[in-house]
Amino acid sequence: MKEALAVAFSGGLDTSWLVARFASEGHPVTAISVNTGAWNDAGVAQLRAHALKLGAVEHVAIEGRGALFDDHIAWLIRGNVLRGHTYPLCVGVERVVQARRFAEAAESRGISLLVHGSTGAGNDQIRFDTALRCVAPLARVLAPIRDEARTREETSAWLAARGLGTMQGDSTVSINAGLWGTTAGGRWTHDPWAVPEEGTFATTTSPAKADPQGRELVIGWKDGLPTHLDGEPCQGWHAVARLAEIGAEHGVGRGIHLGDTILGIKGRVAFEAPAAAILIPAHRELEKLVLTGAQRFWKDHLGELYGQLVHEARYHEPLARDIEAFIASSQQVVVGETRVHLQQGAVLVTGVRSPFSLMDVQQTAYGEKTSLWSGEDARGFARIHGTSQWLAAVAAQRGRENT
């Protein structure tokens, strides 16, 4: 009998081929699926049946949504992380959780040969290889689709010749569904001028068809994370899942992101992330009420850096833990409620309140009146505040006069 191995299994074309191929060669194959939001109970059962049909000796389904939220999404919310000010990193953080839980499950079964289905053209190969090297340094990692330059046509034909297939019907579109959002890539993404078809957005209602009256929603917060929805306790990954449902009904969270890949080339993807589209602007607005300008300035910069580390497969970089420590410190006062209105694809934060509100203690109304200083104080401040600019202006004028 050949060496036992574990395949990180999604049920798609690449991982289906991997399970069937290695099983046909005599390897005892354990197919391991980490659920980060792609499947319900029925989907997991279907996944298991598919893996066994392909020849796996065992299929292992691991719940990963709790770890995904606690270890990753929580920091993306607190950091207001949007790559390119657009994309909420739906996929990058999933791969870290999937790699870690996959490696742990394999190790518990005494398996040291780990196989994943990444191609050589995208970010996921780097994410899986890097994460597995960090969490399972003694394991051997194979990526045959990439390393053997297998094509989708070749693997599809190989499966079909043996009466096997995949769980994903449309091989021209690559779909990744997860708790934080769903991404879709296809041939249209290669042309930056091309518009995705409506069918690309499979999980959200078309904004034009959503309820024109919209819906108001109140989110409760503590330590920078959601705790209540309309007064009812709802937190952790359950809050994200519920907001994704609500947002999807109102056409919220659709987008197209064009950006830089880890490999240095440009990439383009469509995404649907209703929960992120609601939580990030609501969280940011609450921060504006309770944090100082300096806190927000540096936190914005560090949040962007943190997102870059996650996206570029550097989550295990110690700097990421340092940034998390800074963010955690800032979130102690991010407590309160945000009122949000959802309407045909739009998200508007209409109100914020907090026991740590800086507006409640400032004894002034911007542009109207204040009891913190007198008019004379303000006049003196304005004069002193502009001194450096005045000096530069005078010096420039004298210089022109003397040349």
Residues 109 and 72 in one domain: yes
* Assessment of whether the complete model's pTM goes beyond 0.85: yes
Residues 24 and 167 in one domain: yes
Same structural domain for residues 136 and 214?
no
User: Could you tell me if 135 and 253 lie in one domain?
Assistant: no
- What's the confidence (pLDDT) of residue 173? 65
271 and 387 share one domain: no
Residue 169 has a pLDDT of: 58
Alpha-carbon distance of 347 to 247, in angstroms, equals: 9
Q: What single-letter amino acid sits at 72?
A: H
Q: Which two tokens stand for residue 327?
A: 């963010």
- Going by C-alpha positions, the residue among 27, 28, 50, 55 that lies closest to residue 39 is 50
Given 173, 196, 230, which residue is the final one in a domain? 173
Residues 201 and 346 in one domain: yes
Residue keyed to tokens 């693997």: 155
Best CA proximity match to 339, nearest among 325, 354, 324:
354
Q: How many domains does the chain have?
A: 3
Same domain for 188 and 294, yes or no, is: yes
Measured CA to CA, the distance from residue 20 to residue 250 in angstroms comes to: 41
Give the per-residue SS3 of the chain: CCCCEEEECCCCHHHHHHHHHHHHCCCCEEEEEEECCCCCHHHHHHHHHHHHHHCCCEEEEEECHHHHHHHHHHHHHHCCCCECCCECCCCHHHHHHHHHHHHHHHHHCCCCEEECCCCCCCCHHHHHHHHHHHHCCCCEEECHHHHCCCCHHHHHHHHHHCCCCCCCCCCCEEEEEECCEEEEEEHHHHCCCCCCCHHHCCCCCCHHHCCCCCEEEEEEEECCEEEEECCEECCHHHHHHHHHHHHHHCCCCEEEEEEECCCCCEEEEEEECHHHHHHHHHHHHHHHHHCCHHHHHHHHHHHHHHHHHHHCCCCCCHHHHHHHHHHHHHHHHCCEEEEEEEECCEEEEEEEECCCCCHHHCCEECCCEECCCCHHHHHHHHHHHCHHHHHHHHHHHHHHHCC
Which of 122, 144, 173 finishes a domain?
173
Q: Which domain holds residue 394?
A: 365-401
Residues 151 and 40 in one domain: yes
168 and 317 inside one domain: no
Tens-binned pLDDT, residue by residue, of the chain (403 aa): 799 999 999 999 999 999 999 999 999 999 999 999 999 999 999 999 999 999 999 999 999 999 999 999 999 999 999 999 999 999 889 999 999 999 999 999 999 999 999 999 889 999 999 999 999 999 999 999 999 999 989 999 999 999 998 876 555 667 889 999 999 987 788 899 999 888 889 899 999 999 999 999 999 999 999 999 999 999 999 999 999 999 999 999 999 999 999 999 999 999 999 999 999 999 999 999 999 999 999 999 999 999 999 999 999 999 999 999 999 999 999 999 999 999 999 999 999 999 999 999 887 777 777 788 888 999 999 999 999 999 999 999 999 999 8
What per-residue confidence (pLDDT) applies to 143? 98
Q: Do residue 95 and residue 213 come from a single domain?
A: no
Q: Which tokens hold the place of 243?
A: 């907001």
Instruction: Residue 71: name the closest of 324, 330, 339 by CA.
Output: 324
Same structural domain, 156 and 210: no
- What is the model's pLDDT at position 187? 78
Bridge-based pairing state of the strands 181-186 and 173-178: antiparallel
Q: Do residue 134 and residue 191 come from a single domain?
A: no
CATH code where residue 293 lies: 3.90.1260.10
pLDDT of residue 171: 53
CATH number at residue 99: 3.40.50.620
Q: Which of 147, 173, 199 is the last residue of a domain?
A: 173
Between CA 335 and CA 84 the distance in angstroms is 27
Do 62 and 105 touch, CB atoms closer than 8 A? yes
